Structure 1
Amino acid sequence: MTKLDTLRGGLVVSCQPVDDGPMDRPEIVAAMAAAAVAGGAAGVRIEGAANLAATRSLVSVPIIGILKRDLADSPVRITPYLADVQALADAGADIIAYDATDRPRPETTVAILAAIHAAGALAMADCSSLADGKRALAEGAAIIGTTLSGYTEETAGRAEGVDYDLIGAFHDLGGFVMAEGRLNTPELAGKAMAAGADAVTVGTALTRLEHVTGWFQHAVAKAVEARK
């Protein structure tokens, strides 16, 4: 069974704690990933080589690796450098995700894809638009994801809710479609699969405890205020 067969029809859990928060440690990220797999996750998405290496020792499911950077001269944050690709591959990534948008970047998407393939990994294109997905498939990406819909200047108007239209459009392209972005409830995840996704990635609602706690705290505070 291929890595894509393993992921098809399944849930990927993005184990990315809040940056510099109390859970932002490799051993905790790895434990999150192991817990997700115990709960039925078909794969995990991990940021950073150290986190990935720690996770690789605990799980056998496919790992999607990314490395985030904040660059002064580019809006691209996800796996922008060739060296990032190699670091993730060395740490044990089966699949390496990269920013597939058409924006200024230190390395071309063609070069990033070539490095991923040379490292023996599959490539996942984190896209924001239909054009991104078409280009990524033409360049050799194995997975096209809706990850960046709503997070680029071009798609800023889509930042509310799940981009089901893009999921459906990607499905029509014929590639392996990963629905990702603002999938905060089981119902939304199910709707994403119905819209044409091959797999669904969920992150914040499962692994960012500070954010989810805030959702509940806000609801409790609002109810208390209404009783006054």
Structure 2
Amino acid sequence: MRSKEEIMKAIRNEVIVSCQALPEEPLHSSYIMGRMAYAAYLGGARGIRANSVEDIREIKKTVDLPIIGIIKKVYEGCDVFITPTLVEIDALCEEGVDIIALDATNRIRPDGMTILEEFPIIRSKYPNQLFMADCSNYEEVKTAVNLGFDFVGTTLSGYTAYTKERKLPDLDLIERIVMDFDTPVIAEGGISTPEELSAVFAKGVFSAVVGSAITRPMEITKRFIEAVKPR
């Protein structure tokens, strides 16, 4: 396992590429995600964000880069689905993921707790694991910083009911949290062009995650098709 210092050094001021495909998507395959991660590595990515133990295991065969691991799991009646319970945390820790990202919004989790109640339990069980807080607004970032998350991310800005009107990438939020907190900020969410990525780094983030714009060809195709549709 890499040390915290090694992980921090590896991804500081670098681009992390998210390699994910959900079951309903054409590229859903651990093997394909492994090749996608290798392509991202050859292109200059210095970290990978990946979903599921199976994909992470395959990606590790392909590249030796720090991995931000998540497990997306939908629990009935709950909006929290990015690493939502201790069950998913346990699985990622057992696999040996460098950084575990989880929903750190103020929404109620599947077990009925909030992140304020649950993260101290997680931290107590895994004191040496690095954790990233996927947040959607300033107050959630503030809570995550106070809870002792190792990284804070803007991952869920625009994706919660109370932030869906936010313009992405959320440069205003990024600027505020970089200025106000010492915890490393990983910008994520809606970074669709190299110009937007440059604008994000100009705000002083620690690193940034780019996903759909690189690794989801179906979504990329839709954007191009939409651009030439009759108005």
| TM, length-normalised to structure 1 | 0.91
* Residue type at the aligned position of 2:91: A
Is the 8 Å Cα contact of residues 149 and 155 (structure 1) preserved in structure 2? Answer: yes
Q: Which residue of 1 aligns with 2:176?
A: 169
Contact 2:154–2:174 (CA under 8 A) maintained in structure 1:
yes
Query: What does the per-residue CA deviation read over 1:173-201, in whole Å, with 9 as the maximum and x for residues that have no partner?
Result: 11100111110000000100102211110
Q: Secondary structure at the match of 2:101?
A: strand
Is 1:7 matched up with 2:11? yes
Alignment of 1:216 onto 2:224: yes
Of 51-60 and 183-192, the range deviating more from structure 2:
51-60
The aligned counterpart of 1:63 is: 67
Provide the rounded CA distance (Å) in 2 between the counterparts of 1:215 and 1:156.
Answer: 19
| Matched residue count | 222
Q: Which amino acid aligns with 2:92?
A: L
**Are 2:145 and 1:140 equivalent residues in the alignment?**
no
- On the 8 A contact 2:158/2:168 being kept in 1, the answer is no
Partner of 2:135: 127
Measure how far apart 1:113 and its partner are. 5.6
How many Å separate the matches in 1 of 2:47 and 2:153?
Answer: 15
How far, CA to CA, are the matches of 2:152 and 2:226 in structure 1?
Answer: 35
Listed one character per residue, the Cα deviations across residues 45-68 of structure 1 (whole Å, up to 9, x for unaligned) are 001111111112222111000111
Residue 23 (structure 1) aligns with: 27
Within 5 Å, give how 1:83-122 maps onto structure 2: 83-105=87-109, 106=111, 107-109=113-115, 110-112=117-119, 114-115=121-122, 118=126, 120-122=128-130
Q: Which residue of 2 aligns with 1:202?
A: 210
Structure 1 segment 31-50 matched on structure 2, within 5 A = 31-50=35-54
- Partner AA of 1:148 in structure 2: L
**SS of residue paired to 2:177:** helix
In structure 2, the gaps of 5 or more residues are none
- TM-aligned CA deviation for residue 22 of structure 1: 2.4
Q: Distance in 1 between matches of 2:66 and 2:127?
A: 15
- What are the superposed Cα offsets for residues 32-52 of structure 1, whole Å, 9 maximum, x if unpaired? 111111111110000111111
Q: What is the rounded CA distance, in whole Å, between the counterparts of 1:207 and 1:9 in structure 2?
A: 21
What is the TM-score when the length of structure 2 is the normalising length?
0.89
Write the deviation string for residues 125-174 of structure 1: whole angstroms up to 9, x where unpaired.
0001111111111111011000111111221221x331111101110211
Which runs of 5 or more structure 1 residues have no equivalent in the other structure? none
Following the alignment from structure 1 to structure 2, what is the Cα–Cα distance between the partners of residues 209 and 119? Answer: 38
Distance apart, 1:21 and its partner CA = 2.2
Q: Which amino acid aligns with 2:86?
A: L
